[in-house]
A and B are shown apart, each in its own frame.
Chain A
C-alpha cells in the first residue's frame, strides 16, 4: 500500500484524524529543522521555528488548499519565520558570530581521523561561505542542494519565478566556487 500523499494527510487531519498530522510531522520535521539550523545558525532558534511552523500548519489547516504543494507551503512558513527572526538585530549578530554549525554533525563512519578532520574543515568552510551569501541565494541553494527540493517547489516556497530560482542557485554556486579556485 502506498503512503498517503501530503494533501491526503492534511485532508485526513482536517477531518479529525490527529495521526495524519503526526505523519506529516515525522515526514518533514527533519527538513524544517535542518533548513532553520542552516538559515539561523542557532539551534535553539531552529527548534522554535520547527515548533512554530507546525503549530501554524495546524492552525491554518482549515484553509489549506490541496494543490500538491504542501512541502513548499510548509517550507515557506518556516522560511518566513526564519526571515522574521533574522530581521531583528540580535539574530543578525548571532548569525554573523555563531557560524559554529559543527556541533550537530554526525560522526563519520568510514573515514580515518585525518580524512574526517579534512572533510569537516571543508564542510565548515563551505557552511561559512553559504552563510555569507545574499539571503535569497542562500535560501535557494539550501533548499536545492541540502533539502533536495525541485526548482518548482523552491519557486513555490520563495514565491518567485522558476527562472529566477535557477539564476539564484547558479549565482550562489558560482560565488562559492570563486572561493575554491
Chain B
C-alpha cells in the first residue's frame, strides 16, 4: 500500500503532537505498514537514548575555579567596568550579548572603539578631499596656462 506518513510526521506522532484525527489515521496506518512500524521503533529507540543520555559533569575543581573567577568579576562589576578585558574582547563579548537582544538592552562597551574608527575614517576622507581639490586646481591652472599660450600665438 501507499505510505502517506512522512518520517517527520511519524516523529510528531510518537511525541504525541498530532491532532486527534491525524493520530487515529496514523495509528490505523501503522497496523498495515510494516515500514512505518520499523520507523516507529527506531524513533522510540532514539527517544529512549536521548532520555538516558547522561549530562556531562564539570570537574568539581574546575567548576569551583570558574565560579571563583565569575563571582569575583560579578562582585566588582558595576556593569561598564570590565577591567581585564581588552577592547577586542569587550567588543566580541558585546556582540554576543547584542545578539541575545531583545532580552537585554544593549550596552555599548565598544563605543570608544567605534568612535576611534569614525575619527580615522573622517581623517582619511578629509585627506583624500584635499588631494583631489589640489589636483583639480593644478589641472585647472595648467589648462588656463595652455589657453593663454594658445591665445598669445593666435594671429591678431
- Residues of A participating in the B interface, judged by any CB pair closer than 8 Å: 13, 18, 21-22, 25-26, 29-30, 33-34, 37-38, 47, 50-52, 54-56, 58-65, 67, 69, 72-73, 76-77, 80-81, 84, 101, 104-106, 119, 122-123, 126-127, 141, 145-146, 156, 166-167, 170-171, 173-174, 176-178, 180-181
Q: In the docked arrangement, what's the CA distance between A171 and B12, Å?
A: 9
Contacts of A52 in B (CB 8 A): 93, 96
Contacts of B57 in A (CB 8 A): 30, 104, 106
User: Which residue, A30, A170, A178, has most C-beta atoms of chain B within 10 A?
Assistant: A170
Contacts of B79 in A (CB 8 A): 58-63
7 contacts between A and B (CB under 8 A): A18-B71, A18-B74, A30-B57, A52-B96, A55-B73, A58-B79, A126-B49
Stretch in contact with the other chain, from B22-30, B101-109, B117-125, B139-147: B101-109
Contacts of B56 in A (CB 8 A): 33-34, 37-38, 101, 104-105
Candidates B10, B38, B82, B104; contact of A65 at CB < 8 Å: B104
In the complex, besides A25-B67, A64-B104, A156-B103, 13 extra interface pairs with C-beta distance below 8 angstroms are: A25-B71, A29-B66, A37-B56, A56-B97, A61-B79, A81-B96, A105-B54, A122-B49, A126-B49, A127-B53, A171-B11, A174-B43, A180-B45
Chain B residue with the shortest CB-CB distance to A181? B42
Given A30-B55, A34-B56, A173-B100 contact (CB < 8 Å): no
* B46 and A177 contacting across the interface, CB-CB below 8 Å: yes
Minimum C-beta distance from B125 to chain A (A): 32
* B70 and A166 contacting across the interface, CB-CB below 8 Å: no
Determine the main DSSP class of A at the interface with B. helix
* A54 and B70 contacting across the interface, CB-CB below 8 Å: yes
Given A18-B71, A55-B70, A65-B103, A126-B43 contact (CB < 8 Å): no
Contacts of B39 in A (CB 8 A): 177, 181
Given A81-B96, A126-B49, A59-B71 contact (CB < 8 Å): no
Q: In the docked arrangement, what's the CA distance between A84 and B32, Å?
A: 48
Contacts of A56 in B (CB 8 A): 93, 96-97
Contacts of A77 in B (CB 8 A): 96-97, 100
* B52 and A170 contacting across the interface, CB-CB below 8 Å: no
Q: Which of B44-88 contact A (CB under 8 A)?
A: 45-47, 49-58, 62-63, 66-67, 69-71, 73-75, 77, 79-80, 82
